[in-house]
Structure formats: C-alpha cells, structure tokens
A and B are shown apart, each in its own frame.
Chain A
Amino acid sequence: MGEPAERLEGRHVAADGSAAAARLRLVIVGHVDHGKSTLIGRLLYDTGSLPDGKYEQLVAVAARRGVPFEFANVTDALQAERDQNVTIDTTQIGFRTARRPCVLIDAPGHKEFLKNMVTGAAGADAAIVVVDAHDGVREQSRRHALLLKLLGIGQVAVAVNKMDLAGFDAGLFDRVAAEYTAFLATLGLTPVAVVPVSARDGDNVAGPSGRMPWYGGPTIADVIDGFTVPGPAAGGPLRLAVQAIYRFDRRRIVAGRLESGTLRVGDRLLFLPSGKQSRVRSIEEWSAPVRHAATAGETVGLTLTDELFLGRGEVACTLEDTPSRTARFSARLFWLGRRPFVAGQRYTFKLATQEFTGEAVTLSAAVDASTLEPVAGMETPQLAAGEIGEVTIRTHRPVVVDPYGRVPALGRFVVQDGLEVCGGGIVLESDEPAAAMAPVAAHLTRSHGLVSREAREARLGHRGAVVWFTGLSGAGKSTLARALERELFARGRQVCVLDGDNVRLGLNADLGFSDEDRAENIRRVAEVARLFAEQGTIVITAFISPFRSDRLRARAILQRDGLDLPFVEVYLSTPLEVCATRDPKQLYARARAGEIPAFTGVSAPFEPPDQAELVLDTSRRSPEEATLELAGYLEPRIEIR
C-alpha cells in the first residue's frame, strides 16, 4: 500500500510538541447511597468542568419530573439510574484541577454491581472511599477497600460525607475516621487524608468549608492534586507478552506489548514457555521514524535474527532475569460470578496474552465473611461472589508468571467460568524460574545418599543419559528402542527402556488419553527417567509424546537442579502413510473406524520438534543402520568427564 496522505487534502501541520500532562485516573468507591455520584457531580460543578447548559438542563429535568435536583444525575446517565437514584454501571468523566487533567471514575456501590465496581476501579491510579458520617462504615465500605488493595491501588483517601446531616459534629467524624482507618490498617492501607465533606453543599470539596472550623486539613481537590500518576515500569525486568505473529510484506513480525523493562535492537531474548532464543533484528513501526529501543507500555513489532516458530502467549525475557515457568502457583483470588468458584473444578485463566486451564488444588478464605477482616488459612470448598480467597492453582500446561509485586502485568489474571469473566487474582509466588513442577506438599527436603554419582559412573564406566524417542504410532519407536537397548547392552552399558504401553499398564494405569492425562503421563515418565539416569543408567523412552510443551517439560525435568546429563530427543519423522501401512497394533484401522478417540495423526495433533538432537526417517533406513547411528551419536556423550 502506498502512502497517499500527501495527495489527500490533509492539513500538514507541525506536530504539537507539547507533551500533555499525565492524566490522573481517580475512582470514587464506597457503600451504596453514601454519596459517590453526588461527590463527583459536585466536583465537576465546582471546578467548572460541566459542559455548557448541563447543570441548567438537569435542574429543568428534575423540576419537570417533580423531584429534587441531584448532583448524582450528572453521571447517572441511564434512565434506570435516575429513576432509582442508584449507580448501576461504572462511568468515566474528564475533569481538570488547577494542576492537571483527571478522569473521574464512578463505581457502583451496590453489592449486586460489584463486577462493575471492579471494572471501574481496576484502571485507577488512586481512590477516594466515600463513607456516610451517619450510616458509618458499612459492608461495601470494607469490601471496596479489600478490592482496592487486591487491584493494586495503594493511594487512598477517605471522604466522610453528609456532614451537613450530622450537624458538622467533630466527635462523630473522629469516630468514623478512627474506625475506618483502623480497618484500612488491617489491609496494609494508609489513607493520605480523611476529609469531612458535604458533597451536596460543597463543603471541603473544591474549597474549604466555613461550617467545620475544627478541620484544618486538605479539601478533596487538594487531595486529588496530591496524588501521583505512576509511570510504566521501564526500569523493571524485560517482559514482552507475545500477542500475535504477523506476516505482512514478507516480514515475519512478532507483535506484543512490552509489559516491563526496556528492549533494544540486538538484545538476546529467551521465549518462555517454549525455551526458544533469538536476537532482536529490528523494531517495526508504520509511519514512524526507525527505532532502536522500546520501553514498558508500548506495543511493538519485532523481527528476529532466527526464524522461530512462536505463538501467542509466549513471554520474552532476558536470559539473566526470567519469570517462572511453572504448572503451579499460589494466588489471591476475588470472585464476582453468579455461580461460586469451586476448588477442584476446571476453569480458564487469562494472564497477559496466555490462556490456559487449571484448577485450585487448595482454597482457603482470606477474609472473614462477616467482619471482612483478613484471616489466615480457613479452608473452604468454594468462594461466593464478593469473597476473597487464597488458592494454589495447578495448570494443565506450563505457564509463565511473575509474582504480582515484581511484574504486575505478569502477576495478575482473570478467571473465566464458561464464556464469562467471573473473577481475578494476583500471583503471590510461584516456582523457581523454569522449574518443571513444584511438589504439592510443603516442607519437603531432598535427601542425598552416601554413594556419589561419580562413584556410580566410575563403576559403570559411563554416565547416565535419556534418549527420548518421539513420533507417530508405527514410526518405529519401540523397535528402535529395543534394538538400541540390545546394542548398548552388548557394549557393556547399563541400559533400560521405558515403553509406552508397559508404563500405562502399571505406573500410569490411572491415566487416559485426554490432553491433560497425556501431559501427566509424560511428566511421570520423565521423572522416572531422571531417577534412573541419576544412577548412571541410559534410559530409552518410547512414547508418542505428541506435544512440544510436554517434551520441553521432560527436558526441563532432567535438567532440574543443575543436573547436566544428556537429553537426546530423537524425532522419528517417518511419514504418516508409512506408519499407517505398518500399523503393527492395528490401531490406525481402529482409529479410522472411530473406535479410538483422539488418536495421534488421525484425530489428535502431533507437534513435531524443531530442535530435536536427531531426526530419523525409518522408511529410508534399516533398523540396523539407524541403531548404529544412534549408538554412535550417544557414545561420546556418555563418556565420563
């Protein structure tokens, strides 16, 4: 596509060089009817931020309907909201203080509309909690503060409202302020100010009040000007969440958002969970000058020096500072769904651009349901809407996470129940970087025997290793595995075969052929292979192992804790037609007849490896040739160092 802008009657002007002041996003929360929308309406009116004619229009509408004018009507745009004087959905409205532009976010206070409150509050930089002086600290006053804390909003102020109805009583104000401040302290929140206001009349909103001479603190407008706008984390560890891979104009572009850190052309990137590596060749941008660096918050398009097969959900980082690649992490979770969140039930999780399934293997309430104060370790089978819990999530695939406190964008996720987003959570901690899977039980210690690995190797005359065959059914895995075992045994090597069917007849008799069960099957085999290899045995495995991620995990298991034994992935690339013709177990015939569901190559996918140590097509080689080639490859790698 050309660049026809010049030919259209565009008015070419010098770009407006003045960088706009950072816009503060401020959410107003609190219990229903405590006066959030009224406070917003008043702030807009008193700072001259309402559009021309809006105030007069609303006054006239109220008069026509025979109801008193309410400042809340400024933001309660929906007919139902005006009829019932309750905010249903969150809304946002721009406004200016003397210092800078702001966006005010009105969040509903009614329990029923909690998901709308979260929608409004999640994007805020700071919050004002409105508490009715007379009604005092109520359920949603507490719940909203809990959610603010979970949503990562640390800048909080309190407006004690309706002081006009409380006779501007300093004693009452002090009691409410003390009670609420004490509650916030249990959450680790300290308000920057507690302001007595009458939102209806404007006392201490945009200007000081003459009716509360006992108060010498800031007004709401002062408080707003004191909040800071946090910038994106340009100095944090490099994390690029891959959103999509595009092919435009013969370029292969990795598109994603830099969630943290700074990226430069020439940087070496590690992609997780796949483990692939490459360098940044260029940063691509249309209609913009050539760039050599990008910083947190930017959506970027990269070309790499290697043609990697990558997909959405990969996270790029540097080799020095990686997130965790794990199948298990602990999290704090808030639930908004009509149906409860149930431990052990499968849900879909979305974390940055990753989407995965998993379930809670532990669940405990994080907050007492009646007092809403934090509690520790009360096990519970489920969470209802509005409840907050601590969970351990087990995922069905390795995922890439950071603790929320370290990289927020990779430490927070939403939970989907069916088609609906029903909750969210923040990652508290996860495994060591790139670990395969953490143990269920805590307080485990690895024990070490008195016979060293070196001593075993010296006796055997070689090191342990894992030879991992992968390929379609009928590709020749079992045949070659047995032939290689016999060849190595004849050469005096300690060797064994872990065969697919044999393992499924015993150790893995509880597993079927779903994606999850296949993953678990491979995980167990890899763990067993590791145990043998550590003792000096050359372990040969013969499993279809169709998923790339499972094989990567097997490799990670063998290399865990710095174990440096060879892992030799052998891909038998024998064509499907040849495998189906061989069909030693008559499986293809049965699969095509529909008797075997999810049969690899027929009705289930096989993901070929792109970095296998060896690729062999057994339709082009005799088993004898292939065996000798394999043994020849292996021998130098198992020599004692």
Chain B
Amino acid sequence: MSSKSEPAHRFRRANLLHIPESDLLCKNGCGFYGNPAWQGYCSKCHKELYQKSKHSNVPELKSKYSRRSPSQTSGESPDSSFLTFSKFEEKKRHQSEKRAKTIKSIIKRTSTFKEAAAHSGWKEQRHMSFESQKVNRDFGEFLKTLREPAAQDVKKHIHVLIDRVQKYTDRSIDEASELIQDFYQAVGERFETHPAFQGASPDQVEQLMNFTEKYLMTRLYKVLFGQISTEDEEKDLAIQKRIRSLNWVTAEHLGSDIDDKHPEVRDLIDKAITDIIEMDSKRAPQDKLSCIVRCSQNIFNILHVCHGGPASADEFLPALVFIVLKANPPLLQSNIKYITQFSNPSRLMSGEGGYYFTNLCCAVAFIENLTAESLNLSQDEFNRYLSGEAVPPGGYEQNAFLCEGLRLMYQNLAALSDLRQRHDKLMAEALSLREDMNKFKDTITKEVDLVLAKTPLIIQPYKIPPDIDLKVLPSVIREHVLQDRASSTWPTDVLLTEATLVDIENDQIAGQQAVEDSGCPLSASDIFIKQASSLKPKPEKVTHVLLEPSTTGTVETFHKVGEYSLDLGEFPHSHFVQM
C-alpha cells in the first residue's frame, strides 16, 4: 500500500523538526502513541478502525470510538482502583453491541460477496498489463473487420488455449511450445479451410494469423517467459558475464571496418544497441523480431557509411557480433529461446526477421565459443585481455566513448572548441574590416585632396551677358533681368554668350520674331549677330542673380550661361561682330 509509505515518509521528515508530543499520540486520544503507518492511530485503534472500515461501517465506528476512549483513559491508571460500576456497565453494553455487530457483519458479508462476484470481471481487466490491454483493443478492432462467426471462432479458440496454458503451469516449456505450435498449425489450416473464413482475403488471413499470434503471446508472455527465464537463468547470466569479459574486443579484432570514431556511425551504433536492448521489453515474438530487424537495418546503415555499397553477410555478421558485445542485451538466451519456441515457424523459416534472428543466434554462438584464434590474437594475448591484465591498444578509448557521459563531454568539448574557433575568426574578420574601413577613409581623403589640388576651384568673375532682347529670355527670368536692369549700372566689358543662342533656338517665337523683323529666314548666327549689335552693357548685379540657384530649370540654363561666357570670353568682341 503506497498510501502507507507516504505518511511514513512525511513523518520521517517531520521528525527532524521538533514536534510536540501530543502530535505523536494516537489520533483517537486513547493515550497511546500513534504510528504514521497506522494513519496516526495506535495499533489497537487502527486495527479496529480497519476492520470496521472493511465492512464500511464508519459512522457507527466513530460513535464506538468515542465511547471507547474514556474507558481507555481510565485504563491508563489501573492502580487507581477506580473500577466503578459505571465502567462495568459500559463493558457490558460494549459486549452486547459487539454481538449485535457480528450478526450485522454476517449479513453484511453476504452482500460483499455478491459485490465481489460482480466486480471480479472488472478486477481481471484491471490486472491485465498495459501491453495486454493494448493488444486486446487492437485485436478487438481487427476482429470487427471480420465477419461475426469468424471473429467469434477465433476468440473462442484463443481463450480456450490461454486458459489451458495458464491453468497447467507445471508443464515444461517444451510441452507448452508444442501446444502453441500445434495451435498455430491448426489455426492456420482452419483459416484456410473453415467455412467461416471463406470470405476473407489472403491478406486478411495473414493479418489474422499475425494478430492471433500477437494476442496469444502477449497474454501468455508472463507465464511462459517467466518460466523460460527462471529455467535458463544460468545461461543468461553466463552469456552476460562472457560478454562483459569481452568488453575489450574492438571492431578491428572481429575483422570489421566499422569506424566508431565517426560521429554519424556512433549515432547509428547507439541506435542499433538501443534496438537490440529493446527486444527484451517486447512481448510478442514478432515484436521481438522486429527489434532485431531494426537493429540489423541500423547495422547496414553503419556499414553503408563506412564503405558504401550493399553489405553482404561477410560484413554484417562481424558487425552484429560487435553490436551484441557492446550492447550486452539482458536475458539474451531466454529471449532467443522464447522466440524459437513460440514464434510462428513460418516467420523464422523464410522472412527477413528469420534471417536476422538466425544471424543473432550465430553471433551468440560465436561469442560463446570465441577463441584467441577467432580474433586473430595469440593465446597469450587473448588470455591477458580476457583476465583484464592488459588492455588492447585503442580498447580503452573505445569503451570510454561508449560511456554516455564521457562521450557527451567530448562532444561538448568539440563543440566548444569549434565555437571558439569561429569566434576567433569572427573577431579577426571584424578587425580586418575596421582596418579596411580606415584605409578606405584615408584613400578617399587623399584622392579628394589630390583632385582638389589638381583642379583648384578658382572662381572667376563672371562675364555678364549683355543686355538681350527680353523676348528671347524665358519668361521666368525675364522679371529678374528687368528688375536688375532698372536699378543698376552697366559694366564696361560686355559679351554675348552662346547660351543666349541656345535659348533663342529653343524659343521658337523668338525665332519667328526674328524672321518677321528681317523679312527673310535667318540662321541662328544671323540672329546672334543681330542681337549682338543691339547689345547694351548689362548691370553687374545680373551675375549675382544668375548664379543663385532658383526653383526652375531655366535658371540652371542661365547658370550655364555663366560658364559658357567664361569660354567665350576669350574671344574679342570684334570677332562676334564679324561673324
């Protein structure tokens, strides 16, 4: 009863603190010490309470206790000779009550019997292990897919057999095996021939056979496997001891080229080991076999990583021996015997599972009969390794890596050093980036300086464009020019600019105007000359106006005007006129 141990535990903890004595007394107040194991009552009170509660007579019980306690407290001082008549009377009452209760309890008991009978079915269900319940459900589900008479038939047969096996526990394993093997055969034939199974497809029959085996063996596992493992306990221990004494054997000794330092291989080795150890926890033979198959597939994955291409038995068997040696699976011999005795023989005969199982048997046989010769060692070496006197080279590391904690440590160390390297690299790169940035800054500064030195910015006085016909000016600037003209003096040196020309060209109206003036089409240069001839000196302030960046693009053209005027300034005034 776990509920008992829990308060006991609490008590032990509580004992560390100081607790008043009153807390240690029987809860019933009878004056004796109570015990957590008896729910805080003294042994006597608890016993009575327990017996009463068994008959679910709690309320009456309480009243009885309340009566009992004063008698007990008086009993605490027996030498006080206080045995009064009242006490005697109470005792009598007590006894008569007791008698009444026995009769009551007899009546009660019959009812509890009935209840027990009603609950027995439920109890059996509860006693079934988790696996049995699961297989029970699955099997039930599957049977639903079958026709009713077939399902009934299968169920009936299986239950008869389960009863038979469970009842006669004193029969030997071989007899039980024969019984079950005969059952497989009979059921197999029945599924083929019996009219109830006529409608089933071959697939369904196969599934049915599988489920029958699984259900049967899961239910009978405890009885049968228990018997095997007791009978073969010595064999199990012997192989376990043998494997332990061979813990120094490396893959190399076995002629296998498994590279157990490779991280991927290591993971796969772990998986294979887990699979083969898991075998012991399964119940049905086919589940045990599928563990072996999974283990074998992992071994093939290992071999694939190690040397690619499909592996043959020449490579597989040594690898399997290696895995078995490293795994040291529990109850190996018992499991093998169980599978051999209780699996459907067709499974062991032909299927993939059968093949790998055979290989496992071979591996075990090999380990049992392992000699110095089979490991390519001298007898002397072999003996020394076996006795633990010496450790073969590499053997220590190999086993160290098989220790989970150490391996984790190595992995973490590797991860850390990798992280450190990456961090260093990152820092180095950051530094070189900073250097590059500095260098870049320097070169840019230098280049800019150089360019500045080569092309000094000399602001030359602008040659002010002459007063031009306002008509050819874009309307935006026109105002400025007018303003300036009104309030300024004229510079002496006046030049005509080409930009004016451009503006003229752009301005068609201006062109047309010119045509009208002369009466015949004029070339740009004609206009140029014409206008140049009508030039008037322009006020100096105009320069200022033109340089100022303004909102419109047209002013920018005027800015250019200023530049052009620089170039044109080379030409003497007279040239223009001649043109």
Partners in one complex: no
Interface residues, chain B, with chain A CB atoms under 8 Å away: none
